[in-house]
Structure 1
Amino acid sequence: MKNLFLFLTLLVLSVSVNAQQEKQQDTTKTQQLDEVLVKAVRVDADSPITHSNVSKAEIQKRNLGQDVPILLNYLPSVVTTSDAGAGIGYTGIRVRGTDATRVNVTINGIPYNDPESQGTFWVNLGDIASSTESIQLQRGVGTSTNGSGAFGASLNLLTDVFSEEASAEISNSFGSFNTRKHTVKLSTGLLNDHFEFSGRLSKIDSDGYIDRAFTDLKSYFLQGIYKDENTLIKALTFGNVERTYQAWYGLTKEELEEDRRQNPYTYDNETDNYWQDHYQLHWNQRYNNNWSTNLGLNYTKGKGYFEQYKEEEAAADFSNLIEDDSDVIVRRWLDSDFYVLNANVVYKKDALEVISGISYSSFTNDHFGEVIWGSDLAPNTQIRDRYYDGDATKNDFSVFSKATFKLAPKFTGFVDLQGRFVSYKTNGINSDLNEFVTDADFSFFNPKLGLTYKSSEKNSYYISYARANREPNRDDFKAGVTDNETLNDIELGWRYANNKVNVNTNLYYMFYQNQLVLTGELDDVGSPIRATSGESYRLGLEVDANIAFNSKFSTSLNVAVSQNKNQDFTTSLDGEFVNLGNTNISFSPELVIGNAINFMPTKNLQISFLSKYVGEQYMGNIDSENSKLDSYFVNDLNVNYQIKPNKLFKSIVFSGLVNNVFNKEYVSNGFYGTYDDTWSVPGQTTTLDYAGYYPQATINFLLGMTLKF
């Protein structure tokens, strides 16, 4: 490990030092130490990495209780969905057609994706937007990051930076479906020019658009900092307790037409209950104008259960804890511990910047299920007896070195080399009562190269190549998948900027080996099932433009056009394996458009009309018409008005959001599967299919007021 780290660092340094030709004013001395927290996983404006930045001010305009994916809905190539239909609770994000398990998420550089499932559960980060300073979304492989490899996008959050002045803030909002959000924030400001303490408490409730799909979130964020000219130490903790009624069962086409708000679940406690607490310590140190370091430590504790009612179950499915045909209520538990260590060093001089670092994480997770009630328990059994029990351990170590350097007066090079080493082990009995034993190790080398050509102050062009590898997740291993996936990503971009116009345009070609695509089916807890598609690719064009017509009118438009194909896709149909040739990759629309028209009649008032178009998409990979989701076009209206009184309050901000202003009935997500009918006609196999849908809310509103002291 040490030799590999030394090799990567020396290789990048040797390439970079020889390439320096032009000196620039050193900015390390004035660099915000807060930004060092995410410098290892973020990129700069001129980097040959396709990305979008979202500031705190942009986040707060629509921060009325909805989850982070919904707040990012209008970014390029982004498609979002909500189980409950209203953007609160279980929400998801897809980027360039890749699902949430492929989007690497970090918070202050600390991995957030669940190491086993590789998914991101925003329901466990209630109101994190109120404690977020900025967000960067990198599309494609992006730069080296920590945790599960980015396989379509990476999303990193920087939490609140320190405040020079004491402040307090009270935010309250309410809206449709009995939605309420209550937030209190406090900051002491800098005490003795060195110390600051701040915190937030939040409560979010919503009944959901879908019947009884309620969400109950209680969250907190506490932070203490020590700061001087060259040192920033941050100790922070944040967490959430959630209780969410399940809505992942979806609706059939007939149920959708009958009553799109109905929920097939009838048990009154068919809920998800989970607690998650994060503890982070960051030490940023600047030694001189050239050298700075960051050390990050993290511990995350997660524990909770999914409660479920099952009718007339077989005794064999519950380790003989019940008699046959007994009704039963079970709780399926997770109990996890997650430790992370990040260490980075930054060297900057003239036109050269080198960042090198390591990341190590250790994750343990207990999986077990218990019977909490049965209409007909077996003799000598008791409530809370476990019917399955297993554990898992995953260790993840990565080492990287990346450099930005001048090759010529108008050319800037970028080199990023990462080695990643993963170990995953499981033991015990799984929820299907089968033994689940895994012992797998992976070693990945992920190189990234790029070049930026700045032809003028207004125009720049870039080209990059990146390679990523990714291990299977827990469900993939259960399904017999043991090979890793490999992604090669080529990006070609043009950026233009002047005082009124900012345009980012890029072409991408992402080609895969052993890509795990969503089959469209769900497992028994609503998680998507994946299967290896062999060779596949995503080819697309993205255009992102911001135009200021004058001081009062502006627009932000993005368009993503893509082709997403499985190559020589084989599947079983009517009892035979057939090659369908090139088919569409599931959940990958060919056209996604976002637009915002902004009007500021005064400096205190902003009115934004937001539009989102998502083209038709298939929920499976066999191009079945029954698996097709229709395109949809949805519009929102966002209003923000700020008053600055002379006394008591620094400001009073009124916010309003009308979602789906034209009352469109649409579906943004669903599931699809096939099964073989071998009984209707003796000796003949006929493949049949089924589909389910998640309807999204029709017209609804949120209103809020924020008092800043």
Structure 2
Amino acid sequence: MKNFKNLLFVAMFFITATVLGQTKITGTIVDGTNQPLPGASVLEKGTQNGVSADFDGKFSLTAKSPSGTLVISFIGFKSKQVTFSAANSNLGSIKLDEDNSLDEIVLVSNSFAIDRKTPVAVSTIRAEEIEFKLGTQEFPEILKSTPGVYATKQGGGYGDGRINLRGFNSENVAVMINGVPVNDMENGRVFWSNWAGLGDVTSAMQVQRGLGASKVAVPSIGGTINIMTKTSDVDEGGNVTYDVANDGFNKFGFMYSTGLMDNGVAVTAMAATVSGDGYVDGTSFTGFNYFLNVTKEFNDEHKLSLTAFGAKQQHGQRQNRQRISTFRESERGRKYNSDWGYKDGQETNSEDNFYHKPQISLNHYWNLSDRTFISTAAYVSFGSGGGGGWSGVNKFGINDQNYRNGQFGTINFDKIVDENIANGTSGSETILRASRNDHNWYGILSTLKSDLNENLTFLTGLDYRGYTGIHFTEVTDLLGGQYFADDSNVNNPTNLAQVGDKILYDNDGLVDWLGGFAQLEYSVNDISAFVSVNVSNTMYQRVDRFLYLDSDPLQTSDKYNFVGYGAKGGLNYNIDQSHSVFGNIGYFERAPFFNAVFSNRNNVDVNGDAPNQKITSFELGYKFRTEKFTANFNAYRTLWNDRSESLGFQQQDGTLGFANILGVNAIHQGLELETTFRASDKLKFTGMASLGDWRWANNLENVQIFDENNQVIETVNLFIKDLKVGDAAQTTFALGVNYDVLPETTFTIDYNYAADLFADYDPSDRGSVGPNTWEVPAFHLFDTALRHKFDFAGFDASIIARVNNVFDTTYISDAQDGTGSNAATAAVYYGFGRTFSVGAKIKF
């Protein structure tokens, strides 16, 4: 009831406002094959009055004059001017022609692929669809109906979602925001909780499977997720949003744009607060999302754009998977979480997460001449936060009834507090701590594009990134004790730590990256092709303030450099207006991750000769376009060779040596299909099928490891040939229906099927012949949403209602293989049951 009153309050706040419109102009914007162009810009010429087309390409604009001209534009298409009048207010279908000189900012800065030109497998999702379907889902889940994608909520904490692409996890999937790579510089991972507010500010998101269109060297083995945030809108105005959902979810947001002012400046700002109890027990959360873009057009040659955004959040986690039997026997079922309890009546987590990672970028766009364009982006990011846990005596075991409120119950923190108090001057036996992973990251990306002639374009650029990862553990709660004794720091071995003091470790990971690329693009008539090469040097260095005295020169390690390089090329041929084919091929070598070099977490035992990982990729595709039906079909094969694998051994002089084990290889291949059928102006069907065959390629048998005297010290066996790659569904299907029930009311239902999902495991542990990993049962899910647009006291308003997992299906979304590779020993997360959300939006 409280949430409903809040919604009414927001509505009543605007009920007194009025606007005067003179002519309401409507129409639909389409491409050459009559496919809609969602997000296309519609601007009343000579004013700042404009709107964007919705997901079906439709727009409605209240003009300031009874007659005039509309300027219609869209990325990758030539702008068109269309006259209107009060007598001719329904403009019908407006067709835009492709512009082979795609908007420089997007092409050069953001590496967006162009349909029927860029020879890669790609799916694009616009802001309208994200707003319609996202709701309380994790941001990566908006892509779950995309070929090759498997996305889940993992443990179910706010922002804890994950995504796999063609069977590769986030370490091997490049994520770029406005053309800037955001994969962790040390381990390649993407933590979506750092970007929990992206759904509010994304204008378009592209999934480029395989090699992708990015020019800089990024870890795109599985593909690239390219996210473009909103810029300063051409139209003045804004909106207020309010969302409520299951389990106490509340979200309030505000956005305003000045439009392009007479002085050439445009500003867009957004802010939103979010909170809730969480579907999973013990996962309450709070967050604040913000976005700011300031753009200044100096003249036809120079443009500056400053963008800053972030999402400060804190949430409880379900960090530990459990056996299926545990979920079934617990009173809470799939909501069960072993990682929380109460302390003095307050919800307290043994595992939680908190982080704030603002990203600030300054982009300069320079039209050097009619043929040459330079785009430069300088950016910084300051991350602060980490994940909670415990230290000392383990009193958090799920079967330890001394510290549980009943079988599979919550943690009895009060008992732990009483025991620590009783210890008196002996200090706390058990405490809560946070593993901090702060960082300072800065970089610059500069790209030059020059048209050598009508058909040939040359691009080149530099990519520099500097990164310092600051890793330490700090005490967050002594749980009633006076201190926590820790002897980990050689500079302070008698540390009696208080809240905020560092324990266990304190070290920095330093990464410097310098890369360059060159690309040649050829386009004539119906043929477009490219060839691209890149090279990069990655430098790693480690600083450890706990293992080495401040006076010890070993406190800072030597620098270790790794050179990576790559080459790729592709060709697209438009056979006619309906048919086109494409192909691409590429090879690149990627530097090992930081932990493969400093695998023993010290500055002496270093694997400075860790080998590059080697990736080869092939792809063929076919595209079909008609007025009613489109289809994209592609076949791919990716070879991932020399996965980082090493063995440490003691040398005769007592030091640690490393043997790098080559030949741990994987094959990822498959078929993908994506379709759209527009049965009528009101009814649209979408479909997807993805059939993957992802497996380890070969065994390693009797691989002998030699010491410095050429003596055999160990023999390595790995029996992994034809074992299925785990952690992502290899077979997925999707079917969607969009139906305009009324002119302003749209209903959608999406069906998703996932199968051939094998439990995750470490192939390094397969030292003997054994069964394949456990296969998770296949599952079917249905989601639905209803959007209604209406006039509210002269304002454009809308309400969106969503229900996910409509039939409350019970299913396992994530699994870790156990002993014997069977269901009884596997550790799992269950997916969410039925959830709902309702959101209101008022534009002004």
Give TM-score, length-normalised by structure 2: 0.72
Distance 1:656 1:389, change over 3 A: same
1:206-263 Cα deviation digits (max 9, x unpaired) = 3222111223211111111112444321111112211111212122121122222111
Q: Distance in 2 between matches of 1:687 and 1:200?
A: 48
What's the offset of the Cα at 1:145?
4.2
What's the offset of the Cα at 1:476?
3.7
Query: Which residue of structure 2 lines up, in the alignment, with residue 16 of structure 1?
Result: none
Contact 1:279 1:300 in 2 (8 A): yes
Query: Which residue of structure 1 lines up, in the alignment, with residue 441 of structure 2?
Result: 338
What's the offset of the Cα at 1:284?
1.2
What's the offset of the Cα at 1:687?
13
Contact 1:144 1:416 in 2 (8 A): no
- Determine if the alignment matches structure 1 residue 590 to structure 2 residue 730: yes
Q: What secondary structure is seen at the aligned counterpart in 2 of 1:123?
A: helix
Contact 1:280 1:299 in 2 (8 A): yes
What's the offset of the Cα at 1:280?
0.7
2:474 to 365, 370, 375: 370
Query: Which residue of structure 2 lines up, in the alignment, with residue 301 of structure 1?
Result: 382
Distance 1:382 1:511, change over 3 A: closer
What's the offset of the Cα at 1:648?
3.7
Query: Which residue of structure 2 lines up, in the alignment, with residue 382 of structure 1?
Result: 497
AA matched with 1:346? K
Query: Which residue of structure 2 lines up, in the alignment, with residue 284 of structure 1?
Result: 365
1:275-313 Cα deviation digits (max 9, x unpaired) = 211111001122343221111000100111323224516
AA matched with 2:446? A
- Determine if the alignment matches structure 1 residue 443 to structure 2 residue 563: yes
Q: Distance in 1 between matches of 2:771 and 2:312?
A: 41
What's the offset of the Cα at 1:327?
1.4
What's the offset of the Cα at 1:144?
3.5
Distance 1:700 1:144, change over 3 A: closer
Contact 1:279 1:299 in 2 (8 A): yes
AA matched with 1:484? N
1:692 to 827, 830, 833: 827
AA matched with 2:842? L
AA matched with 1:443? V
What's the offset of the Cα at 1:486?
1.1
Q: What secondary structure is seen at the aligned counterpart in 1 of 2:325?
A: helix
1:223 to 273, 280, 293: 293
- Determine if the alignment matches structure 1 residue 603 to structure 2 residue 767: no
Map 1:405-424; keep pairs closer than 5 Å: 405-406=522-523, 409-424=525-540
AA matched with 2:578? K
Q: Distance in 2 between matches of 1:661 and 1:468?
A: 44
Distance 1:186 1:409, change over 3 A: closer
Contact 1:164 1:189 in 2 (8 A): yes
Q: Distance in 1 between matches of 2:545 and 2:597?
A: 14
1:95-149 Cα deviation digits (max 9, x unpaired) = 1111112111111111111111211112112321221111111101223444642
Contact 1:109 1:156 in 2 (8 A): yes
Q: Distance in 1 between matches of 2:185 and 2:150?
A: 23
Contact 1:29 1:288 in 2 (8 A): no
What's the offset of the Cα at 1:38?
3.3
AA matched with 1:242? Q
Q: What secondary structure is seen at the aligned counterpart in 1 of 2:267?
A: strand
What's the offset of the Cα at 1:183?
1.1
Which blocks of at least 5 consecutive residues in structure 2 are unaligned?
A: 1-77, 80-96, 342-347, 396-424, 486-493, 601-606, 646-660, 703-714
Contact 1:144 1:400 in 2 (8 A): no
AA matched with 2:336? Q
Q: Distance in 2 between matches of 1:307 and 1:556?
A: 42
Q: What secondary structure is seen at the aligned counterpart in 1 of 2:497?
A: coil
Contact 1:347 1:354 in 2 (8 A): yes
Q: Distance in 1 between matches of 2:791 and 2:701?
A: 64
Query: Which residue of structure 2 lines up, in the alignment, with residue 103 of structure 1?
Result: 173
Which blocks of at least 5 consecutive residues in structure 1 are unaligned?
A: 1-23, 315-321, 518-530, 676-685
1:484 to 612, 616, 629: 612
What's the offset of the Cα at 1:324?
10
Q: Computing the radius of gyration over CA atoms, which structure comes out larger, 1 or 2? A: 2
Q: Distance in 2 between matches of 1:542 and 1:699?
A: 29
What's the offset of the Cα at 1:51?
1.1
Query: Which residue of structure 2 lines up, in the alignment, with residue 510 of structure 1?
Result: 638
Query: Which residue of structure 2 lines up, in the alignment, with residue 17 of structure 1?
Result: none
Query: Which residue of structure 2 lines up, in the alignment, with residue 185 of structure 1?
Result: 255
What's the offset of the Cα at 1:569?
3.4
Contact 2:513 2:538 in 1 (8 A): yes
AA matched with 2:354? N
What's the offset of the Cα at 1:32?
3.9
What's the offset of the Cα at 1:338?
0.4
1:347 to 443, 450, 460: 450
Contact 1:339 1:362 in 2 (8 A): yes
What's the offset of the Cα at 1:601?
2.6
Q: Distance in 2 between matches of 1:341 and 1:103?
A: 21
Contact 1:100 1:119 in 2 (8 A): yes
Query: Which residue of structure 2 lines up, in the alignment, with residue 261 of structure 1?
Result: 335
What's the offset of the Cα at 1:190?
1.4
Contact 1:515 1:532 in 2 (8 A): yes
Contact 2:322 2:829 in 1 (8 A): yes
What's the offset of the Cα at 1:673?
5.0
What's the offset of the Cα at 1:329?
2.3
Distance 1:352 1:57, change over 3 A: farther
Contact 2:334 2:832 in 1 (8 A): no
Distance 1:578 1:492, change over 3 A: closer
Query: Which residue of structure 2 lines up, in the alignment, with residue 69 of structure 1?
Result: 140
- Determine if the alignment matches structure 1 residue 271 to structure 2 residue 352: yes
- Determine if the alignment matches structure 1 residue 398 to structure 2 residue 547: no
Q: What secondary structure is seen at the aligned counterpart in 2 of 1:381?
A: strand
1:161-220 Cα deviation digits (max 9, x unpaired) = 222221111111111122222111011111115111110111122322211122321111
- Determine if the alignment matches structure 1 residue 361 to structure 2 residue 508: no
Distance 1:644 1:346, change over 3 A: farther
AA matched with 1:363? Y
Q: Distance in 2 between matches of 1:337 and 1:184?
A: 29
Query: Which residue of structure 1 lines up, in the alignment, with residue 123 of structure 2?
Result: 52
What's the offset of the Cα at 1:637?
0.4
| Greater alpha carbon shift after TM alignment, 347-356 vs 548-557 | 347-356
Q: Distance in 2 between matches of 1:602 and 1:689?
A: 50
Distance 1:229 1:302, change over 3 A: same
Q: What secondary structure is seen at the aligned counterpart in 1 of 2:117?
A: coil
Contact 1:489 1:509 in 2 (8 A): yes
Q: Distance in 2 between matches of 1:129 and 1:435?
A: 42
Query: Which residue of structure 2 lines up, in the alignment, with residue 461 of structure 1?
Result: 581
Q: Cα RMSD (Å) of the superposition? A: 3.3
Q: What secondary structure is seen at the aligned counterpart in 2 of 1:616?
A: strand
Q: Distance in 1 between matches of 2:596 and 2:677?
A: 45
If asked which structure has higher relative contact order (CA below 8 Å, sep 6+), I would say: 1
Q: Distance in 2 between matches of 1:380 and 1:450?
A: 60
| Greater alpha carbon shift after TM alignment, 396-405 vs 104-113 | 396-405
Quote the sequence identity (%).
19
Contact 2:188 2:219 in 1 (8 A): no
- Determine if the alignment matches structure 1 residue 119 to structure 2 residue 176: no
Query: Which residue of structure 2 lines up, in the alignment, with residue 641 of structure 1?
Result: 788
Map 1:134-173; keep pairs closer than 5 Å: 134-146=204-216, 148-173=218-243
Distance 1:458 1:36, change over 3 A: closer
1:493-547 Cα deviation digits (max 9, x unpaired) = 1011011111110010111211369xxxxxxxxxxxxx98712211100011111
Contact 1:566 1:585 in 2 (8 A): yes
AA matched with 1:251? Q
AA matched with 1:197? V
Distance 1:339 1:385, change over 3 A: closer
